[in-house]
Amino acid sequence: MKKTPNGQFLSGAFALSLAALFTACRSTPTPTAPELKSLQGYWQGEGPAGNISINITGNSLNYYARPDQWFKTTFTLPAGTDPKQLLATIKDCGGESPKPIGEVVASIYKIEDGTLTFASPPSHNAKAPKSFEDEAIGGIFAVRKVQPQKRNTERPKTKVTRGETSQREQITGSAWVLEPGLKHPAEMAGIASGPDVYSAPIVFQNKSAGIRKVYWLDYNGDRQRFGQLKPGESSDIGTFLTHAWVVTDAQGKALGLYYPDGQKRTVTLE
């Protein structure tokens, strides 16, 4: 995995290197309270594969890139290592077949100027890298801690220019800016996805005559584009029971908002 021109890390291959981030070196170290406390929180980063998030609560670490690239783990921190190490055990994941449940990975990490950087070994059962300059590093990425955004349920005053943005949908930073008429009423009310607790697949089948776009509403209620379906196409998505999904037309106007069921749900778009 290579460093991106802007100095950030990550790639679409991160799902593969995550197996290298969360596999290897089985042991039972004891974390120290200050080190564990410094990792707590919600972290985000961005790379060629798009936005990613890491949510660390207690000894649980959940990584999310997209519905088919996520990992739920528990971790321990060996005492007295230099650089610091994190050993994570995979509890569940998406996009892996067979799933590497129970595998453990040794990675090194550091926190500098508010940035959390991880480096993983190149393969399963490999030792943790000796340093962040180690030639044997399989993957490296950096994220920054963010605070949940305060929801603004008032009618947005921002207007998106016409012309080339006639779809009335544009990206500002990592957030979608939409005219109010394009949003689902639940979006206007500030609905957002809940915790990653119970895995539940959902399938969208486009039986309509037009393009259908599929968005995940993230933990702040912002649209994260997953893809689009041409007439006759379908998409099988691995997600969570409390995650919200919005389907729109080609212009970004919401046609429906959906949640997974306790069992596999198939949504027919007409």
Give the model's pLDDT for residue 195.
83
Give the model's pLDDT for residue 25.
44
Give the model's pLDDT for residue 179.
56
Give the model's pLDDT for residue 267.
94
Give the model's pLDDT for residue 232.
94
Contacts of 82 (CB under 8 A, 6+ apart): none
Give the model's pLDDT for residue 112.
92
Query: Alpha helix locations (H) across 45-191?
Result: 185-188
Give the model's pLDDT for residue 178.
54
Give the model's pLDDT for residue 49.
58
Q: What is the mean pLDDT of each run of 10 residues along the chain (270 residues)?
A: 40 43 45 82 70 85 78 90 92 80 89 89 79 82 71 37 35 43 85 84 93 90 88 90 92 91 90
Give the model's pLDDT for residue 212.
94
Confidence (pTM):
0.50
Amino acid at 195: P
C-alpha to C-alpha distance for 207 and 210, rounded to whole angstroms: 9
Strand order of the β-sheet with 212-217 is 223-229, 212-217, 244-248, 254-258
